[in-house]
Structure 1
């Protein structure tokens, strides 16, 4: 009676069944390994742009939106010498009224009369900007001597040799407004701010005399106020700064060998002097004279010198047009990789100054300057050494604040904000390459801020592409995936971008790669993505579109090593990432059955199997096989059940190919498909079982367990058992039991299942004596808990293996022992 009962005992098909009672981690791991599989894929390759420019060659919006140019041509006339433009960037229109002053006293003595406003400057103000600039440059210090102090007058009437040599070329070392002042104390010059407060109809000569008398009185009483500060600044100016400016002009005019080195040293010395005298920023009242000299040096066209000039100009807090031109100048220098060393040597000032500009400048008034500023950081971040400096100087934190300001910009600034964001997101893309940047991206919530940018600028493909590159890089790391998943709206946002920019391959492939990473290990992410409006419609429309973009289907392998065109490879990469998303979504217990009943989804997968060959589309076909394997888990689907035999026939080329990955996925799929009697007959008729038995010789655990699954199902049919035995299936299964032993109880349990099905129902005679004895010996040893687990020292791992041993191995091993033992021993 016992033998009759055993005749009808056959192992269940190779498919784990969901059971609400099972709650151990061992069972969850076992279930995932046996059937539903998550696949990884390579991150899309992004070649480094060797052309450093604001907007790359692939920029889509260059013509439509008028992107600012990268090539720049800057010369001294491009700068505003007095640096007196209003902060708003708008020039004030000149006054038409020409004031007239009453004249008293001795007209023959010009120093006793009220000074008249020179007619030439007024004419210049009424003229155009170019005329004003030419007149200022044309004037020399010697022609303005009658309006200077007596000492200056004597010096200019009797110039020394050095002054004669420079009289034609050098620039004035004082502000333009100084030449309008009356007689004053030697060594002291009136500043631009003092000259600008004169009012029409006021006797400026009397005011100067009263002011001078007042200062002398205060000094006599021991009171040092503003006059002391002015005296100190004048002393520094006359004794140190003015000579340095004259040296700069002299060396620049000489153009001798080594002049650039000398000019750089002089700029450094001038910078140090101004810093020691606390005259940097806008505190120096004669800063316009310094700026005139520095701007003239730009025409020497030396990158190293221009960087020193820009450094000093930024320290003097230039604004308006001058700030814009300085940012353009530094950007132009940064475009050459050979100049990176200059920025590394001056990183403590240039990069700090630029980060300060990004922190403080307003988008509405200095938007274009911010654009070239961020463009410089983008170029420099391509250098690994400078990239490290940017991270140390909190570039990520500065970028986060700038993103927030740009996203709240008014509609009038929307275009320039978009231009800046192209550069800023490209800079963050480079920063994301460094492993130390990931904690910063998380702590400053950059991933969330970029989602906001995508919502505001979803029409700009350049911004969207840069952000997709950031996400594709960072989503490969668990902590970044968690940070991105905290924005549940990101799934809907990604789908909308996929729909809007479906023809932009580099954007589509990176968004799909990010979605694949998010859904790889998170059931919540799989469900949230599936719940988004139009999710399956968007994904399947992309699938269909990219599957048909290649005009010549890969039905036959190409002869020779000729590679497919680049566009074909990019289209296929989109399909690889898209199918991976579908495979990951299938793992969710609610999403999987829905996809298994989706006719269009199954048809597209079968179409890919039919059109593509393994030699050219290996990764794509591996992902398709994994998706079909996951879908075959849900056998209750009538749609998939009707397609099982067709799928099995299409899978045959994967089983017989030379790719181990494709063979493994196809074998796993056959493990589920072979539950169908039609599929089992197809496998036996086409001798697929011979290849499956051969896979048992593999040293791969996954390959062996997949082969055992197929053999378990094939052995359900008694006619198949003899054919499997002829191929040596029983002997190879016993070898697997010996080789893998207690190291993998799931594999050992599956081997026992396959053996039980093969020798059940009166098929014990298929076992020879030696195989029976070896099998009994192994089972006796493994059924002893102490012997089975003695090699595990770690207590936590021991508990895990004990759970796997009890659930995966023990039940089927007991049944196999009963089958092997004679009836009298069993009783």
Structure 2
């Protein structure tokens, strides 16, 4: 018996066996020694519709084969490129599925394989499309995916991939192929998708639109539940999660990714493969994007926090991994109390976070002393970025009102002061901003032996210079710390000694609302001391206050109310001044009196206009301040109602600092 014809595709041998139809049963004649018995003739059966269809299909295939064969006869590897491409297009239009005859398929494949030595990308892609239309099995599928992968490594082929619809082909393979039988092919398939989407928003959209995410998640879930995954499965997970990482970078695709089952499936893979560095790094990078959205955080299974902390311990020396782990945990802790509780459970009430902070900070401090805290370009090192992300996580955890006292009493918090005291690191703006944020949040928890509050004098000393920074983001974060710390007399003395009160007066009417609000808050505390009140320059203070009130009226009652408290403290004890207009000149007093009166006469009419905030933050202090201004004017012999008769005096008010 002759052997089946074979063809070789990239070193692998494939069998192409001719398909044959079923052999009809042979007729039989029954013989006997007697006279032949005449049997009644059976009626002839009419041809069924099915036979008609088979006959028609066979005829159609014969016609189609004749057309295809005519084109195959013209194909030559060394023929003119344009002519070859046109012939391949002709084949593409004629061939929409394999032939029923294995012999014909084998002949077609042999003709196509001869063209695979071409160096022209378009030729190769069109040949591969035809090959895969004939068969997607075994070595043929694997070698086709390998060649797609090889082509994808050259960015100049991206346009060809787009024009020829390669993404649809690759996603089609993912939908059809079995992960057990075709894992090698799927590795190269996803590798090609990864290369194609690495630097192009358009390519990412094309792949997503082709249905990549839904197609790959089933395979990933199957891998996660494998008791003994093969090396090829690990490679598949590396490549497929890398594609998801590329797609997650595209903000236009992020919502769709979050709405899919991706977050849950990746959590299963993460939990099952905590030791596979490349796989988990890709997953953490994906989570770094999805956790920026509330829904992306809400969909995280409860196991994720614990798994991420395990990774942080397993890969403590892998800084790229740690940066992303703590970034994701920081996102989780930023806006969801339930997720904070998961992190507390995974970190022994947050104390494990301090362990990582100290470990990485000590290395950073050593490098800073050795002059190696920055990279070769003079930018913050990856190690510094790890410390920043851990500090941010700590700050976000401290938002929780249920955080245990052990976190705030831990002496390892002293490392925050060490970082701020380093001559090199105190120049690193992002690090200082995050340190200030953590210190501020830690200081709000009134627990015995709060370590940050115990160190506030030392912390204030190293933070004060940053209030004079030209970087307003830094001023705001450090200012928030002093809004709390400046309640301590020794800290207020330090700030006045450094002339911080002068800067705060200047910043009162800063265009940045947060800067203005922080300046009001610090000044409000500083002005509780008579020495500070005496040091404030009256004219500049009055001008700044009036500008703040003018800008805040009707739009920001909280800022306006804080500004009034600041003025209230400034005017405290005015009765003992040489003249009633020592601190504020008469025209400023009149202007402030009239302005407050007009705001009090026309309060917001509804909650939508800010009535609640007006009532709680502004109305009370503004009313009292308005009355005091009137008393000061009267004491100076000036009629406070000369310009506004509608505001009545409710009586005298003896000012005490707020």
**Pair in the same fold by TM > 0.5:** yes
Of 222-231 and 580-589, more deviation after overlay is shown by 222-231
8 Å CA contact 2:297–2:332 kept in 1: the answer is yes
State the superposition RMSD in angstroms: 3.4
TM-score by length of 1: 0.67
Could you tell me which runs of 5 or more consecutive residues in structure 2 were left unpaired when the two chains were aligned: 1-6, 28-43, 635-648, 653-658
How far apart are 1:313 and its partner, in Å? 1.4
How far apart are 1:226 and its partner, in Å? 11
8 Å CA contact 1:736–1:751 kept in 2: the answer is yes
1:264 paired residue number: 85
C-alpha distance 554-238 of structure 1, shift in aligned 2 (>3 A): closer
1:789 paired residue number: 604
1:245 paired residue number: 72
C-alpha distance 678-303 of structure 1, shift in aligned 2 (>3 A): same
Aligned: 1:384 with 2:201: yes
8 Å CA contact 2:380–2:428 kept in 1: the answer is no
- Once the two structures are superposed, residues 568-622 of structure 1 have per-residue CA deviations (whole angstroms, 9 ceiling, x without a partner) of 5212222222222222222222228554323212x12111111155784101101
Aligned: 1:531 with 2:345: yes
- Once the two structures are superposed, residues 731-785 of structure 1 have per-residue CA deviations (whole angstroms, 9 ceiling, x without a partner) of 533443344333321112112212222222345643333333223222222222x
1:688 paired residue number: 500
1:459 paired residue number: 275
8 Å CA contact 1:458–1:464 kept in 2: the answer is yes
1:128 paired residue number: none
How far apart are 1:450 and its partner, in Å? 0.8
Pick from 396, 407, 431: which aligns with 1:620? 431
8 Å CA contact 1:359–1:401 kept in 2: the answer is no
Output the CA distance in 2 between the equivalents of 1:76 and 1:705: 72
Pick from 805, 811, 820: which aligns with 2:620? 811
Higher normalized contact order (CA 8 Å, seq sep 6+, divided by chain length):
1
How far apart are 1:699 and its partner, in Å? 2.6
Output the CA distance in 2 between the equivalents of 1:547 and 1:788: 52
C-alpha distance 355-701 of structure 1, shift in aligned 2 (>3 A): closer
8 Å CA contact 1:505–1:571 kept in 2: the answer is yes
Aligned: 1:302 with 2:113: no
Pick from 289, 292, 297: which aligns with 2:107? 289
1:393 paired residue number: 210
Aligned: 1:474 with 2:285: no
Instruction: Output aligned runs, 1:224-623, within 5 Å.
Output: 228=55, 232=59, 235-236=62-63, 239-248=66-75, 251-252=76-77, 255-256=78-79, 258=80, 260-275=81-96, 280=98, 284-347=102-165, 350-382=166-198, 383-411=200-228, 413-484=229-300, 487-534=301-348, 536-550=350-364, 564-565=376-377, 568-591=380-403, 594-601=406-413, 603-611=414-422, 613=424, 616-623=427-434
1:80 paired residue number: 13
Output the CA distance in 2 between the equivalents of 1:230 and 1:281: 11
Instruction: Output aligned runs, 1:641-656, within 5 Å.
Output: 641-656=453-468
8 Å CA contact 1:324–1:366 kept in 2: the answer is yes
SS state of the match for residue 216, structure 2?
A: helix
SS state of the match for residue 767, structure 1?
A: coil
- Once the two structures are superposed, residues 163-193 of structure 1 have per-residue CA deviations (whole angstroms, 9 ceiling, x without a partner) of xxxxxxxxxxxx6xxxxxxxxxxxxxxx355
Of 227-236 and 568-577, more deviation after overlay is shown by 227-236
8 Å CA contact 2:349–2:403 kept in 1: the answer is no
8 Å CA contact 1:593–1:631 kept in 2: the answer is no
Output the CA distance in 2 between the equivalents of 1:704 and 1:227: 85
C-alpha distance 733-408 of structure 1, shift in aligned 2 (>3 A): same
Q: Greater CA radius of gyration, 1 or 2?
A: 1
How far apart are 1:549 and its partner, in Å? 3.1
Output the CA distance in 2 between the equivalents of 1:477 and 1:774: 47
Output the CA distance in 2 between the equivalents of 1:699 and 1:222: 93
C-alpha distance 715-763 of structure 1, shift in aligned 2 (>3 A): farther
C-alpha distance 598-364 of structure 1, shift in aligned 2 (>3 A): same
C-alpha distance 300-284 of structure 1, shift in aligned 2 (>3 A): same
SS state of the match for residue 743, structure 1?
A: coil
